[in-house]
Amino acid sequence: MAEWIHQYQKPLMIDETGYEGNIPYSWGNLSAFELVNKFWIVCVQGGYCTHGETYLNEEENLWWSKGGRLIGESPSRIRFLKEIIDSLPGPIAYTGRVWMKEAYEKMKENMPEEQKQVPITRLMLTLSWEQA
């Protein structure tokens, strides 16, 4: 996604990242955790994401196509993400910075020793570029 933002120099909207729900299709049976994880990934890269649900009810209607009341866990979790973003000192804006594999590896090499002892950093240092 960061590559698209860099290429087009515009914010990116991911309209169908998937749906929290219980239908048999992979795009419509994400857990709240999976869907919110996608929101975090999109937001920290400077993009925007839309929400929807595909829980099948007794009338066999999906919120995704008919509207109604949201029943999943993701809206409150997405609201929490919004509160964090709203608390930042300024708007999230794409800076044009694209991390390349070489820069990532160089950053890992040049990291101060005391920073390498921080638990999250220790984990990051075990990840390849593709995993990070």
* Tens digits of residue pLDDT in 91-128: 666 655 555 677 778 888 888 888 888 887 888 788 87
Q: CA 51 to CA 49: how far, in whole Å? A: 7
pLDDT for 64 equals 73
Per the document, the length of the chain is 132
CA 48/CA 95 separation, integer angstroms = 15
Beta bridge partners of 48: 13
- CA dihedral of residues 102, 106, 107, 111 (deg, nearest 10): 160
Distance, CA of 14 to CA of 52 (rounded, Å)? 12
Question: DSSP characters for the chain?
Answer: -HHHHHHHTS--EES-S--EE-SSSGGG-B-HHHHHHHHHHHHHTT-EE---EE---TT---HHHH-----SSHHHHHHHHHHHHHTSSS----------HHHHHHHHHH--HHHHTSHHHHHHHT--TTT-
pLDDT per residue as tens digits for the range 19-65:
999 988 888 899 999 999 988 888 877 788 888 898 887 776 777 77
Give the pLDDT band of residue 80 (cuts 50, 70, 90): very high
pLDDT of residue 32: 92
Domain spans of the chain, in order of start? 2-86, 100-132
The pLDDT, as a whole number, for residue 95 is 56
pLDDT in tens, 55-79: 887 776 777 777 778 889 999 999 9
Task: Tell me what pLDDT residue 94 has.
Answer: 61
Task: Locate 32 and state its tokens.
Answer: 């709240």
